[in-house]
Structure 1
Amino acid sequence: MAAITPPNQSSEDLLQPVTRLPNGVYVPMLAFFTPQDEVDVPATQRQAARLMAAGVSGLVIHGSNGEAVHMSRRERRTIIEVVADTVRHETDSHVPVPIIAGCAAMSLRETVELCHESKEAGATHALILPPGYYAGIISKDQIVAYFHSVADQSPLPVLIYNFPAAANGVDLDSDTLLRIAAHPRVVGVKLTCGNTGKLARMVGEVPKVRGGRDDFFVAGGSADFILQGLVVGGHGTISGFANLAPRACVKICELYEDGRLKEARELQHEVAKGDWPAIRYGFVGVKAAMPFFHGAAEASCAVPRLPFTPLDENGPAVREIQQGMSGVLAIETALAAAAAAAAE
């Protein structure tokens, strides 16, 4: 397969060299709202600070867990600004923490506008879904051209977001992903499709379409296959479950890097068990679990926007969530306590 040579970049932003995102856990943050249905700034700050303290590598704003489709452009910008400001205050490093903003729209024009607005608000990268509204008549060539056009015009480096459920069933195969990845400003992929074979092919083949450069980030999109992705050479995870158990997700990566595979497998089993109700109930289920993991103060802000409603706290869904996540909750609590003791 021949690599696609993109058009020459012209603006100063587009000429800047890109580097691969750091390995590790990236968290697609939930969106928090006040009882008056406004963006809850303090809750957003608390969650961003909590995640940074847990050792995650970066944050994702306006992913599928972030309810971007329920927000105005002004609200979306506000949340990026709040998170970027919190990250600056919570980190001492001079190396910027990646803040990846979901910028997908159905047209090239609006997607590029969202990329510009996100950069102005403090984002460092853009996460882009394929345009799936007209899934029945859009071709692979058109999808590749769309991503390359976004990358040509976006001031932010681009990550591909392959999540068929959020793109009207569009599931990009590895050949199409590699064609898109040939563009030098497409710098990563989030594979929420759950296809670990696709992930392995991307890891093995993407340097060939990028001139031998190791500057492309390949990550699974769910916490139930963090270890599987690492074993085949993936670089980490972008997982909504890490809103609840960031330390456990980070620990899987650390155990793998240390060669402690038996412990990594055992922890992965527990994380996968806990992630299952989160997958079943989506962001509504993750929000319902926030008070269990992070305290009762998070109950009022972790309410989904209409048309979604909170799960009944005494209902079977919440009981299923509590039962399925109890093991990883105990692990997360122990990891937090150990970190606090070590910091004393």
Structure 2
Amino acid sequence: MKLKGIYTPVLTSFKEDGTIDYPAWEKVLDKQINAGVHGIVVGGSTGEFYAMSKAERLEQFKFANDYIAGRVPWIAGINDVIATEVYSFAKSAKELGASGMLVAAPPYSLPSEEELAQHIIRIDEAADLAIILYNYPGRTGVEMGTEFLELVADRKNVVAIKESSGDVNRIHELALKYPQVSLCAGAEDQVLEFFAWGAQSWVCACANIFPEACVSFYQTCVEEKDFVKGQKYMATFMPVMEFLEQSGKFVQCVKYGAQLQGLTTGPVRLPMLEMSDEMKAQVKEVVTKASIELAALANE
């Protein structure tokens, strides 16, 4: 597959008792598809995979595949602390209909770059399915650096890298040295820089709140090459993106922002806690302001 467009790492709707609220989640999926996103990521950190059992994660994959029913591709987040479980998730993702897999380093174990490359190769051998690498050293503790990329970048199933380090120099390095691996925007507050350096996709948590606007932003920059208007989009998104990246309440902000857009998202799962009323007011303020400005941009 080629990773191109807006891929939303969708939130997971929960009931008050903590179980997955599938009727509400259907509306989450429909909103994304109806807004024109190019694909959906199921089982990412925005979806709180880390707080789910293996059985729940596999059930969610199966439900997503059946409900999406080919309307858009879906990507399986297969990450886990236990490496052997990742290989099992990879095999299941293919069996359950995923178009690809989003793969980060296993957290806490801190593998070397060679060890991490061998991990990716085992995943590839387990599933023979498209792999989107996910470089997020802030979460995993290790970098998908040069030694790692030299070992995996030429594998046919390694199709893209979601770069979430926050280091703008990585954008330049990936675009110039590893053109065989499609560059995917992964840092919400650097999306314009990614697009300027040729990124063809954005795994876009912000699309849980503003799916239509994220698609328009992508079309403006990638398809129309209009970076003047793209800068206007970025300026409008920035307060929301900064809140998501810097508040320390990423999932809570995404879920509350989606609630403000009429979706039922339910609570977050432990160890996360709900936001304070003060923070909710701040999120509401930035989301409301961005909604008004994005609507005006769409009419330009």
TM-score relative to the length of structure 2 = 0.91
Larger Rg: 1
Aligned pair partner of 2:215 in 238, 250, 272: 250
CA displacement, residues 37-75 of structure 1 (integer Å, 9 cap, x when unaligned):
211111111111110111111111111111111111121
The residue identity in structure 2 corresponding to 1:270 is: T
* Shift in Å, 1:36: 2.3
The residue identity in structure 2 corresponding to 1:45 is: E
Count of aligned pairs between the two proteins: 296
Aligned pair partner of 2:231 in 248, 254, 265: 265
Inter-partner Cα distance in structure 1 for 2:232 and 2:39: 25
Pair 141,175 (structure 1): closer, same or farther in 2 beyond 3 Å: closer
- Structure 1 residue 221 corresponds to structure 2 residue 189: no
Pair 175,248 (structure 1): closer, same or farther in 2 beyond 3 Å: farther
Inter-partner Cα distance in structure 1 for 2:201 and 2:239: 19
Give 3-state SS (helix, strand or coil) of 1:25's partner.
strand
Counting only pairs closer than 5 Å after superposition, residues 180-199 of structure 1 correspond to structure 2 as: 180-199=152-171
* Shift in Å, 1:146: 1.5
The residue identity in structure 1 corresponding to 2:231 is: R
- Structure 1 residue 46 corresponds to structure 2 residue 11: no
- Once superposed, what is the RMSD of the aligned Cα atoms? 2.1
Counting only pairs closer than 5 Å after superposition, residues 49-128 of structure 1 correspond to structure 2 as: 49-88=30-69, 91=71, 97-128=72-103
Inter-partner Cα distance in structure 1 for 2:196 and 2:166: 15
Pair 335,60 (structure 1): closer, same or farther in 2 beyond 3 Å: farther
Q: 4+ runs of 1 displaced by more than 4 Å?
A: 331-336
* Shift in Å, 1:26: 0.8
| Structure 2 residue aligned with 1:29 | 10
- Structure 1 residue 311 corresponds to structure 2 residue 275: yes
The residue identity in structure 2 corresponding to 1:28 is: P
| Structure 2 residue aligned with 1:341 | none
Aligned pair partner of 1:288 in 251, 256, 272: 256
CA contact (8 A) 2:257 2:284 kept: yes
Deviating more after overlay: 235-244 vs 197-206: 197-206
The residue identity in structure 2 corresponding to 1:304 is: V
| Structure 1 residue aligned with 2:124 | 151
| Structure 2 residue aligned with 1:141 | 114
* Shift in Å, 1:232: 0.6
Inter-partner Cα distance in structure 1 for 2:23 and 2:214: 25
Inter-partner Cα distance in structure 2 for 1:220 and 1:329: 22
* Shift in Å, 1:332: 5.1
Inter-partner Cα distance in structure 1 for 2:226 and 2:259: 32
Give 3-state SS (helix, strand or coil) of 1:60's partner.
strand
How many percent identity over aligned positions?
24
Give 3-state SS (helix, strand or coil) of 2:41's partner.
strand
* Shift in Å, 1:27: 0.6
TM-score relative to the length of structure 1 = 0.80
CA displacement, residues 282-321 of structure 1 (integer Å, 9 cap, x when unaligned):
111111222212x2x52xx331012222223xx2211221
Structure 1 residue runs without a partner (length 5+): 1-18, 92-96, 208-213, 339-344
Structure 2 residue runs without a partner (length 5+): none
Inter-partner Cα distance in structure 1 for 2:136 and 2:165: 5
Inter-partner Cα distance in structure 1 for 2:138 and 2:48: 14
Inter-partner Cα distance in structure 1 for 2:168 and 2:283: 26
